[in-house]
Amino acid sequence: MTEQSRFGRFLSATAVALTGTALMLSGVQAQTIKIGAPLALTGGLADEGRKQAIAYDMWLKRINAAGGIDVGGRKMRVELVQYDYQTNEQRAQQLAEKLIVDDKVNFLLAPFGSGHTKVVAGVAERYGVPVMATSASSDSIFNQGYKHLFGTLAPNSGSVENLITVVTRQMPNAKRIAILGREDVFPKAMATVMSDSAKKAGLQIISLEYYPVGVLDLATPIAKIKSMNPDWIYITGYSKDLVLARKQMQDLGVKAPVVTMITGPVYKEFIDALGPLAEGVTSASWWHHSAQFRGNDPWGSTKAFYDEFVAREKADPDYVHAAAAAALVALQKAIENAKTLDRAKVRDALAALDIVTFYGPIKFAANGMNGGRDLPIIQVQGGKPVLLYPEALKQGNLQSVK
């Protein structure tokens, strides 16, 4: 009947049109490299997630301005597929699968949170998708035997050892250390690593306590520390915990020649929030913008990265920004070396990577962590973070906290 055949023709025409469009679109898709990025844009890690977003964007603009990544002779543009995982673990897991299966990304970037990184890595591992972790420095993140997880941050132990080196050399009389850590993957790891390393270095650990994730007040633990007369006070946590701790130290008149906060002083917001109280606080970092690395990457040198960041954000970049951009650089280099987007080959290329970039050397160990070398130690002097270590880049000496 006419109705049916007209309808039938309409159907087939639509089908053809849709198929054609789909083919066209898939053809268009094949021209770009898609990298999936679950970001913490809301929730407890929103502040940190934003840093990753900025760094990713900087790299993206540069790489696409140059035409894209060279894949076996052909330049392919890069597309970043971003979602807000709301600092929620279930969302992170769901998003990982969505990005891989639905958005069909070629590779993944890990979220900021340590636990969330593990969960995303778990999903990626099953699909054989390489995942770049940009803010994971604790061994426990890499201890599940995943082969597709790579991180640009060096293990915590390296920075802690450098810190101990600086302090024991320049203040040999500082022998009694008090440690206060946040009960959370990264801060706790930094506390336990310090406790182990300090013991080995012959320091006396006079106090080791952990405070809960949601803490409002640290007056009593700090008062306890005060009563033991430490030479070195070492506190780990996220910015708001450290700001609170430093202020309460001031409130209670707690003084010690060496005060270390991981990783407060590295971040601008810590110094802004504390003003004069930030003076003299030391920290370990994974990168400092005064480093003088040169490499074959979109920036070419640390200074170029620094200059672009300052022009864009009107502030100094910290290691989170750099490590995030470096993760994308590592991925880029691996793709270039592998000459293909084949995930298994890129994964192998990542494992074999041995390069120097604006961020420093990138060479992944068997567990996926970047090797550590000369991790910087800084101290806030005159309102700005000053490099105390490594020797070659040193800008100042360790000063006693007044």
Partner 1 sequence: MEYGQVIANGLMLGGLYACIAVGFSLVWGVLNVINMLHGSFIILGGYLTFFAWLHLKVNPLVALAPVAAVLFSIGFLVQYLLVNRVITQPVLTTLTLTFGLDMILYNAMNLAFEATPRRIVLDLGRLHLGGVILPYDRVVAMALALVLTAILYLVLRTSRTGRAIVAVRMDRDAAALMGIRVNRVYAITFGIGALMAGACGALVAVVFPITTSVTGLFLGKAFVICVIGGLGSVPGALVGGLALGMIESLASFWFGPQQAILVGFLIMLVLLMVRPTGLVGKKGYE
Partner 2 sequence: MTRLGGRAGHLVFGAWILLLAATPFIASNYFVKIATFLAMYAALALSWNFIGGYTGYPSFSTAAFFGLGAYSGALMQNAGLWVGFAWIGAALVVSAFAAILGFAILRLRGHYFAIASIALADVLMLIASIWAGVTGGGEGLNVKIMPGGPDFIGRVFLYTMLGIMLAAFVTTVLVDRSALGFGLRCIQQNEDAADMVGVNVTRYKATAFTLSAVFCGAIGAAYASWVAYISPVDSFSILLTLKVPVMVLLGGPGTVLGPVVGSAAFVILEETIWAKYLDYHQAVLGVVIVLLLFFLPGGLLRMLSRRSGR
Which residues would be at the binding site for partner 2 (CB under 8 A)? Answer: 41-42, 83-84, 86, 88-90, 93-94, 97-98, 100-102, 115, 118-119, 122-123, 126-127, 138, 140, 143-145, 182-185, 187-189, 210, 212-213
**Per DSSP, what are the bridge partners of residue 179?**
208, 234
Residue of the chain from 81, 110, 123, 274 that contacts partner 1 (CB under 8 A) = 274
Among positions 1-60, residues that touch partner 1 (CB under 8 A) are 42-44, 46-47, 50
Name residues whose C-beta falls within 8 Å of residue 140's C-beta, 6 or more positions apart in sequence: 114, 185, 189
Residue of the chain from 273, 324, 349, 350 that contacts partner 1 (CB under 8 A) = 273
C-alpha separations of 163 from 55, 107, 116, 190, 398 in Å: 27, 35, 28, 12, 11
CA angle 229, 263, 186 (to 5 degrees): 100
Q: What is the SS3 assignment for 131?
A: strand
Find which of partner 1, partner 2, none residue 122 binds, CB within 5 to 8 Å per kind.
partner 2
Find which of partner 1, partner 2, none residue 118 binds, CB within 5 to 8 Å per kind.
partner 2
Among positions 171-200, residues that touch partner 1 (CB under 8 A) are 183
Find which of partner 2, partner 1, none residue 89 binds, CB within 5 to 8 Å per kind.
partner 2
State which residue, 89 or 374, has the beta carbon closest to partner 2.
89
State which residue, 42 or 397, has the beta carbon closest to partner 1.
42
State which residue, 189 or 271, has the beta carbon closest to partner 2.
189
Q: Counting contacts by CB under 8 A, is residue 312 touching partner 1?
A: no
State which residue, 57 or 336, has the beta carbon closest to partner 2.
57
Q: Counting contacts by CB under 8 A, is residue 220 touching partner 1?
A: yes
Residues 201, 203, 209, 215: what is their CA dihedral angle, to the nearest 10 degrees?
-80
Q: How far is residue 336's CA from residue 340's CA, in Å, rounded to a whole number?
A: 7
Q: What is the SS3 assignment for 204?
A: strand
Cis peptide before 263 (omega within 30 of 0): yes
Contact 129, 107 (CB under 8 A): yes
State which residue, 30 or 213, has the beta carbon closest to partner 2.
213
State which residue, 245 or 335, has the beta carbon closest to partner 1.
245
Find which of partner 1, partner 2, none residue 163 binds, CB within 5 to 8 Å per kind.
none
User: Is residue 207 exposed (0-12), middle (13-18) or buried (19+ Cβ within 10 Å)?
Assistant: middle
User: Is residue 172 exposed (0-12), middle (13-18) or buried (19+ Cβ within 10 Å)?
Assistant: exposed
Q: How far is residue 110's CA from residue 136's CA, in Å, rounded to a whole number?
A: 9
Shortest Cβ 140–partner 2 spacing (Å): 5
Q: Counting contacts by CB under 8 A, is residue 251 touching partner 1?
A: yes
Shortest Cβ 243–partner 1 spacing (Å): 5
Which position has the token pair 């076996």? Answer: 72
Backbone angles phi, psi at 291, to 5 degrees: -60, 160
Give which of 258, 334, 235, 321 is closest to 286, Cα–Cα. Answer: 321
State which residue, 235 or 380, has the beta carbon closest to partner 2.
235
Q: Describe the strand order of the beta sheet including 131-133 as a list of residue ranges.
A: 69-71, 74-84, 32-39, 107-109, 131-133, 149-151
State which residue, 120 or 387, has the beta carbon closest to partner 2.
120
Interface residues with partner 1 (CB under 8 A)? 42-44, 46-47, 50, 183, 209-212, 214-221, 223-224, 226-227, 239-240, 243-244, 247, 250-253, 269, 273-277
